[in-house]
Chain A
Amino acid sequence: MSTQTIDQDLSPGTAPAGDAELNSLDLLESEAIHIIREVVAEFERPALLFSGGKDSVLMLHLATKAFWPGKVPFPVLHVDTGHNFPEVIDFRDRTVERLGLRLEVGSVQEFIDSGELSERADGTRNPLQTVPLLDAIARNKFDAVFGGARRDEDKARAKERIVSLRDEFGQWDPRNQRPELWNLYNGRHTVGQHVRAFPISNWTELDVWRYIAREGIELPPLYYAHEREVYERDGMWRAVGPVSQPRPDEEVVIKQVRYRTVGDMSCTGAVASDATTVHDVVREVAASTLTERGATRADDRISEAAMEDRKKDGYF
């Protein structure tokens, strides 16, 4: 094999030469790749939760690095609320196609149509994702599911292990977690149990954006400032769309906005922004005085412990 070939044709990143000083992003990247490889080595049927959001896109990028020059050796799973941004679904499909991956979809809409789930009064579908997620895990016999969750996102996630055991019901028991020691991850589980693995647990939102900038990772266009019809509700800018309609007293305006998270359209808010490039976004995130979820996620406002309660039920 020729060294030149590799250097010329394939240089996705700007990873340092070995003797260069490793910075914080290099260390986080190295840790994440180690975890991804451990899970792939120790489990029969891993899968990656992939929504097209920046954290799962980052995860997929790390996975391509972990197994290069081989392809990513596991399928991706999207739990589709049916209320997604079309730009994100388009991005999801293009990414799966580009990397030659298998896409499994768990559909909230199908569960609603069949009567197994019922629409909530507030129209939010994020909490409804748990049932299709667990169904897809069981149906595909996945024994390890990668997620792009980060501990800085939420106080409940701050408590979760990197490799986190879930019982037959997909439940997380925060009081009975295995100690996680050194960089030795224990993935032993019994039939019916599975683990959730969070290789980017230790990344912050700013780390994620700096890494996206450094690696030149493509994201759905929603993450960059664009003009959009929005209305204000609960202090958040909601996009006007088929599942997200203003009430009569809510005025629709055209604003320059971007998204810090891309989830369900019915509960994800946009932030006013002029950040049209990745470097603008890095600067904006670095200077922001609001947390990512506090700024843009209505479902986390349902109660003080919304995330914890969802996770105990099997959410990621």
Chain B
Amino acid sequence: MSTITETPLDAAPLEQSTLFRFATAGSVDDGKSTLVGRLLHDSKAILADTLDAVTRTSADRGFGGENGSTQKIDLALLTDGLRAEREQGITIDVAYRYFATDRRSFILADCPGHIQYTKNTVTGASTADAVVVLIDARKGVLEQTRRHLSVLRLLRVPNVIVAVNKIDLTGFSEDVFRTIETDVQAVAAGIGLDDVVVIPVSALEGDNVVERSAHTPWYTGASLLELLETLPTTDELERGLEPFRFPVQLVVRPQGALAPELTLADDAGASFRDYRAYAGQVASGAVAVGDEITVLPSGRKASVVGIDFAGRTLEKAVAPQSVSLRLSEEIDIARGDVIAATGTFGEVSQDLYAELCWLSDKPLREGAKVLIKHGSKTVQGLIRAVTGKLELESFAYGQASGLGLNDIGTAQIRLASPVPIETYARHRRTGAFLVIDPQDGNTLAAGMVRDHPGDHEDERYAI
């Protein structure tokens, strides 16, 4: 069983505390806000002054009254942030919330459940190590559930959990739960989503949220929080599997403008006279001093002679560390280039075939000129063709010539210059990009690179 500690410092050595990002998805009446409120409340993330304020508002709204509920506060109030949200009782946008147990620090992307589901789910899930999809136990698997699971499959969210909520309202019925569980697994199998975990919960009463419930003796799995504490993160899952990728953010070449502790006049400073390193965040894999690397798109090769981090030298760096690399050769490298492990990258291309989650009211049309932001590089792009639109009901692609808000489709994009881009299926971090409106600068779509139809993977990726 997990234990929540009120004094994390003493109970939890920081060295063991990892960071886990998760998001919630659910439709309006599934009890999502209540579940989030319950997680925050039961994990003691809500401090006394906040709880006082929520208790007062709850009392004003008649909570803790005569309806027999054991609940003294409206847990959903814990997550209503903006004035309009409180006034209208709706959730407008993704909010981020924080809590910690003795094992992990959690970043929760609390996504609204209203009709703009795709947009919000994509936003919340793009950085998530896990997504919790809610189902109302009385309603079972709905169209909405299929949509959510489809989007999560597309985004390759590493861990998907389905919480069958309001199980108390079915009298904690095992039959109800097993039926829904079977339905969920059938849908998941149909769209190619592996390892979906299904849990019976009551967010309102707290069953199987933090503590395992005595009301569901037929359920032998973990509570929601126990799962969140133990599931692997994206980095843990991908560590060691993916080759090294390092988008260069900027070149550190201080020359005279050295940090104050260093002056060119003294010995320490003089050694930095010709300092040149490439700053960035390791997007995937690992790099060690001595490794052979290739710079993309130029294809020039060198070896790593130093890995610097703020005055320290490291022997090795792993995703997602932000470091600076020194190389054996003075080659021309600029922001937007990618440093990759030699021999792991097939080709750079000016043509993209991609999945787009369209997030803007402004529709996508063929022939549109856009900006593509991938890693640290932004290039112009031309939408050559919209090749299909995903029908979430069937998870099949239908004909389309454009995409509108919340649509998911495939498109062919021609880039103004070659970009080292890889498929999202292979590299979740290096296969993603933004589509940006060149006029007003707004983000139009989330993009995920696919293989060209008909391409053989082995031809694209030289080993």
Residues of A within 8 A of B (CB): 1-3, 5-7, 9-13, 15, 17-19, 21-31, 33-34, 37-38, 40-41, 64-71, 73, 98-100, 151-152, 155-156, 158-159, 165, 174-175, 177-184, 186, 188-190, 201-202, 204, 206-207, 210, 214, 282-283, 286-291, 294-295, 304-305, 308-309
Contacts and interface: CB of A to CB of B under 8 A. Distances in A.
B281 interface: yes
B259 A68 contact: yes
A178 B8 CA distance: 35
A188 B81 CA distance: 27
Contacts of A177: 93
Given A71-B260, A98-B260, A24 B312 contact: no
Contacts of A18: 286, 288, 307, 314-318, 321, 323
Contacts of B47: 288-291, 294
B308 interface: yes
Contacts of A202: 96, 98, 107
Sort A-B residue pairs by CB-CB distance and give the 3 closest, nearest first.
Answer: A188-B441, A70-B254, A10-B311
Given A151-B96, A283-B9, A287-B6, 4 more contacts: A6-B311, A11-B312, A18-B323, A19-B316
Interface string B145-170: 00000000000000000000000000
A30 B259 contact: no
Interface string B356-379: 000100000000000101111000
Interface in B1-54: 6-10, 14-19, 47-50
B78 to A, nearest CB: 9
B308 A68 contact: yes
A43 B313 CA distance: 29
A146 to B, nearest CB: 16
Given A27-B320, A70-B259, A294 B8 contact: no
Report whether over half of chain B's contact residues are helix, strand or loop; otherwise say mixed: mixed
B267 A156 contact: no
Contact of A37 (B95, B98, B249, B316): B249
Nearest to A30: B322
B310 A68 contact: yes
A65 to B, nearest CB: 4
A79 to B, nearest CB: 24
B284 to A, nearest CB: 12
Contacts of A37: 249-250, 279-280, 322
B440 interface: yes
A98 B260 CA distance: 7
B326 to A, nearest CB: 8
A24 B19 contact: yes
Contacts of B81: 155-156, 158-159, 308
B123 interface: yes
A152 B40 CA distance: 12
B340 interface: no
Nearest to A73: B257
Given A24-B19, A99-B260, A204-B98, A15 B310 contact: yes
25 contacts: A1-B274, A1-B275, A2-B271, A7-B313, A10-B268, A13-B311, A18-B323, A24-B104, A64-B259, A64-B310, A65-B309, A69-B262, A70-B257, A156-B81, A158-B81, A159-B82, A178-B442, A181-B443, A182-B127, A183-B429, A184-B433, A206-B8, A286-B10, A305-B82, A305-B83
Nearest to B47: A291
A155 B82 contact: yes
Contacts of B443: 178-179, 181, 186
B313 A6 contact: yes
B90 to A, nearest CB: 11
B213 to A, nearest CB: 27
B92 A175 contact: yes
B300 interface: no
Contact of B9 (A30, A65, A67, A286): A286
A283 B7 contact: yes
Residue of A99, A174, A189 contacting most chain B CB atoms (<10 Å): A174
Contacts of B275: 1, 69
Nearest to B316: A18
Interface of B: 6-10, 14-19, 47-50, 80-84, 86, 92-98, 100, 104-105, 107, 119, 122-123, 126-127, 235, 249-250, 252-254, 257-262, 267-268, 271-272, 274-275, 279-281, 286, 288, 306-318, 320-324, 326, 335, 359, 371, 373-376, 429, 432-434, 436, 440-443, 446
A233 B429 CA distance: 51
A206 B315 CA distance: 30
Contacts of B324: 68
A291 B268 CA distance: 44
B442 A23 contact: no
A291 B249 CA distance: 36
Given A15-B309, A71-B254, A159-B93, A181 B314 contact: no
Contacts of B95: 151, 155, 158-159
B94 A159 contact: yes
Contact of A308 (B83, B105, B316): B83
Given A5-B271, A184-B373, A188-B441, A304 B322 contact: no
Contacts of B310: 12-13, 15, 64-66, 68
A255 B97 CA distance: 34
A190 B47 CA distance: 41
A242 B166 CA distance: 57
A189 B440 CA distance: 7
A308 B15 CA distance: 36
Nearest to A14: B312
Given A100-B260, A188-B436, A183 B83 contact: no
Nearest to B440: A190
Contacts of A282: 9
A174 B93 contact: yes
A202 B127 CA distance: 13
Given A288-B47, A305-B82, A210 B14 contact: yes
Contacts of B49: 290-291, 294-295
B9 A23 contact: no
A152 B267 CA distance: 44
Contacts of B281: 30, 33-34, 183
Given A7-B312, A13-B312, A159-B93, A69 B259 contact: yes
Given A69-B272, A70-B252, A181-B123, A156 B257 contact: no
Contacts of B434: 181, 184, 186
A189 B436 CA distance: 11
Given A5-B268, A99-B260, A286-B7, A179 B105 contact: no
A12 B440 contact: no
A24 B14 contact: yes
